[in-house]
Structure 1
Amino acid sequence: MRFSRIFLVAGLLSGAILLGAAGISMTAPQYTIEELRQLYSSGDPSKWPAPDLDSATRIGFRDIGKLDRPSYPDYNPYSKEKEVLGRTLFYDPRMSKSLQLSCASCHDPELGWGDGRRVSYGHNRQTGKRNAMTLFNVGFYKHFFWDGRATTLEQQAVFPVQDKVEMAQTLTQMEANIKAIPEYAVMFKDAFGDAAVTVGRIQYAIATFERSIVSNSSRFDKFVTGSSELLSDEEVKGLHLFRTRARCINCHNTPLFSDNQFHNDGQALYGSKMEDFGHYHLSGKQEDIGAFRTPSLREVGQTGPWMHHGNFPTLRDVVEYYNLGNPSPIQKFVQVDESKRPVPSPVLRKLNLDKEELHALEAFLKTLTTQVRKPAPPALPGMN
C-alpha cells in the first residue's frame, strides 16, 4: 500500500508538471468580480492575478497596461513642422500615378485609420489580397505590414506608392510631382531647414505624422490606472478571461496589445485561391509559412473587417474562431504542395468558453476603443 501511494503521488506530480509546462494553471485562485475589479484597477500590475502563459511567452514577457506615447528615432526627431508636412503629404493624391489615390484612401481616420473594406481598391480599381491595417499606434511596431516587409516606419511610407496594385507610382515621379508644387517648397523649408524636396524627406515627414496617430486613453487605460467604476462587471470578467482562460495574452501582450511577433493562426487559407503564406515570403523559413504579424487590439472595435484577409465581418466571429482552437479547414479536392503545408501555432487550443464568457470577452475588447479625434483633411498646396 505504501508503494502504491508513492506511485500515485509521483504520477500526480508528473501530471502537474506537464500541465504547468503547457501553461495550464493547476491552482488558479478563484476571485469574485469585486475582487478582480479592485486588483485590476489598483494602479499596480504586480497585484494582478497571474496570467496564463506558455513557456515561450514567459521569456521577456510584458503585461498589458496603460500605453504611453511612441518615441521618435534619433535620425528622425520630432518637429511640429515635419508633422504638418507629413500629414499634408499623407492626404495628397498627387503622390499616386492616377493623381487620385492618397495614403488616406486606404487609411481614413473616419474608418479607424483603415477603409472598412475586406481588401482595398487601388490603381485602376485593382484589389489587393490583404486587409488594410489600421495606423493607430503604428509608431510602436518593430515590423510593418502583415508580413513584416518593412522594418522602419520611414521605409514603410513608400511601399504603397511603388506597389503596382496600390498607387502604382515611381519614387522619381512622386518626387517630381511634389517638387512641381511651389507651396510645398515653403513647407519643406520649415520642416528641414531648406526647400529641397527629396524622397527621403517625404518618407521622414510621413513617418513623423504617422507616429502622432496614438490611441492611449481608452476606458481600459483609465480603469487600470485607478478609475475602478469605468468597466462593467461583464467587462471586468472579460479582462480576466483575456489574461487567463482565453489565453489571448500569449500573443496580445504589452501595453500595445501585440507582441510584435509573427504567428500562424491557421488562416493561411492553404490550397484555396486566397492562399497566403505571409512572413514566409520574406524569411523563406518553413516555420514562417502562414505566419502574420500580431495586430494590436487597441481600437479593435472600429477596425473591422478582421484578420489579414478581412474575411471575418464581426468581432464575435474572431472570438468564436479562437475559442474553437483553430478548427481544421474544410478539405478540398485540390492539388497542393505538401511541403508547404502550414503548421498552426501551438498557442492555439480549444478554449471551451461558454456563450456568457465569449460575450464578456468581446465586451472587454470593446473597452479598448475610444472616441478619438477624427481630424478633417488638410488643405492641399496648389489645389483650390
Structure 2
Amino acid sequence: MLQSLITAILLTTSTLVSLSAFGQTEVREPTKFDYFRTMYRKKTQFYFPPENPSTPAKELLGKTLFFDPRLSGTNSMSCSTCHNPALAWSDGLPRAIGFKGKVLDRHTPSLFNVAFSQNLQWDSEFTFLEDQALNPIRKKTEMNQDLKKLPAKLKAIKGYAPLFEAAFPGEEISTINIARALAVFQRTIISGETPWERFLAGDDNAMSFDARMGMVLFHEKARCQSCHMGWTLSDGATYDLGQKSKDRGRGALTKAAWENFKFRNPALLEIATHPPYMHDGSLADLKAVIEFYNRGGDEKRPTKSSDVKELNLSEQEKAQLLAFLNSLSSKQETVEIPSLPE
C-alpha cells in the first residue's frame, strides 16, 4: 500500500513515471488516489433530530442568540466570546476565560463542523447539540445564567418576540427553544474549501508535493489515521494521549478509572486556523503537536492509548506531515454579526 501511494504522489496526472531500483524510468497508467477519495468522501448531509428540523427562521434566531451577551448572568458574555468567528470559532487562548475573568481548566474547541461530531465537549458529556447548548450558559464558571430566569429575560426584550414566533410559531419563549435555535445555527458552521477538499474532488495537484508525501505519512508511518478518519478526520472517541495533566478528563465525569485522562478526539479540518492545541492548550502550534506524537507522548500510564508510541520521524518527514496538516485548512470567510434585538 505505502509504495503504491508514494508512487502515485510522485507522478503527474497524465503520465506516470516511477523510479526503478536501477535509476531507470518506466511509463505506465496513472495510479488513482481512489483510496483517499473513498475513505474521506465529503459528507453532504448531517443529522437533524426529528423534533428540531432546520428552518431559516430558526437559524436566524439561533445566530442572534449566539452573539447576544444578555444570555449570560452579567450581560457581558455571549457564546461568541469564546467561540469567536474571527478566531476560527475558538478564542486563541490556551485555556478559556470564564465568569469574572476566571481562567478555566480547558481549551475552547473550535465549532467548525460540530454538526458532524458524534460527541461534544472534551469529555464527550453530550451527544446532541440540543442537549449541550445550554450547558455553558448555566454553568457558574462560564456564563452563569439562571436558566429559570432566562425565558422571562428574553421576553422583556421586545425585539425577540417576532424572532421566536417566526422560528417556533405559537410557542412560548422557553429554554428548550433557545437550545433548539442555538443548535440549528451551530450546525451551519461548516469548514470552507481546503486544498485537501480540492484534492478529494479530483485535483491531484491541489496539494503540494510535500503535503502529498505528508498524506502518506499520516496514513502509514505516523499512524494518525488510526484515530483521525472520515471526512472531518476524527472517529469521535476519547483517548488518553499521555499528556502531563491533572485533569482526569472523561474519568472525572464518569468516575470510571479506565476513562481517566481520556479526552475527545478533535476533528482536523481547519486545524491550522485555531491554535493552540490539546485539551489544555498546552501545545502552541502544529509543530509542537507533531513533536509530542513523535516522542510518543510524555506520560506512561495504564489508560494511555497503545497507538501513541515513538514514531522516529525525520526532520523532513515532520515538515511533510506539517504541510499536509496545513492543507486541511481554508481561507477564513468573514461572518456577518447580526443586529441584536431591543
TM-score between both structures, scaled by the size of structure 1: 0.80
CA RMSD of aligned residues (A): 2.1
**SS of match in other structure, 1:182:** coil
Residue of structure 1 equivalent to 2:150: 174
User: Could you tell me which residue of structure 2 aligns to residue 237 of structure 1?
Assistant: 213
User: Which one of the candidate residues 248, 271, 290 is aligned to 1:319?
Assistant: 290
User: 2:267 aligns to what?
Assistant: 296
Structure 2 unaligned segments of length 5 or more: list them.
17-29
State whether structure 2 residue 81 is matched by structure 1 residue 92: no
Conservation of the 8 A alpha-carbon contact between 2:192 and 2:332:
no
Q: Secondary structure at the match of 1:115?
A: coil
Deviation at 1:111, TM superposition (A): 0.2
Structure 1, unmatched stretches of 5+, are: 1-26, 49-61, 270-274, 330-340
Alignment deviations for residues 213-233 of structure 1 (CA, whole Å, 9 cap, x no partner): 001521101112211221110
Question: After alignment, is 156-165 or 170-179 more displaced?
Answer: 170-179
Work out whether residues 41 and 224 of structure 1, in 8 Å CA contact, stay in contact via their aligned partners in 2: no
Cα separation, 2, equivalents of 1:34 and 1:305: 31
For residue 45 of structure 1, the aligned residue among 35, 42, 64 is 35
Matched length: 326
Whole-angstrom distance in 2 between the partners of 1:381 and 1:252: 41
Q: Which moved more, 1:33-42 or 1:306-315?
A: 33-42
Cα distance in structure 1, aligned partners of 2:186 and 2:45:
12
Q: By how many angstroms is 1:69 displaced?
A: 4.2
Separation of aligned partners in 1, 2:65 and 2:322:
37
Aligned to 1:29: 3
Q: In the alignment, which of 100, 108, 114 is matched to residue 90 of structure 2?
A: 114
Match of 2:139 in 1: 163
Q: Deviations over 1:261-282 (max 9, x none)?
A: 011001251xxxxx10111122
Q: Is the 8 A contact 2:244 2:299 kept in 1?
A: no
Distance 2:62 2:144 in 1: 20
Secondary structure of 1:172's aligned partner: coil
CA distance in 2 between partners of 1:37 and 1:70 (Å): 35
Distance apart, 1:73 and its partner CA: 1.9
Residues 137-174 of structure 1: per-residue CA shift (max 9 Å, x gap): 00111211000111210111011011111101111122
Q: Check 1:28–1:227 CA distance in 2 against 1; reply closer, same or farther (3 A cut).
A: closer
Q: Report matched runs for 1:212-227 at 5 Å.
A: 212-227=188-203
Q: 2:204, 2:55 → 1: CA distance?
A: 37
The aligned runs of 1:112-151 (5 Å cut-off) are 112-151=88-127
Q: Which amino acid in the other structure matches residue 35 of structure 2?
A: P
Helix, strand or coil at the partner of 2:148: helix
Match of 1:367 in 2: 327
Residues 126, 367 of structure 1: CA spacing in aligned structure 2 closer, same or farther, 3 A cutoff? Answer: same
Maintained 8 Å contact 1:264/1:343: yes
CA contact 2:88–2:332 (8 Å) conserved in 1: no
Identity of aligned residues (%): 34
| Secondary structure of 1:368's aligned partner | coil
Shift of 1:200: 0.2
The AA in structure 2 aligned to 1:235 is A
**Over alpha carbons, which structure has the higher Rg?**
1
Contact 2:244–2:298 at 8 Å: present in 1 too? no
**In the alignment, is the contact (CA less than 8 A) between 2:89 and 2:110 conserved in 1?**
yes
CA contact (8 A) 2:2 2:220 kept: no
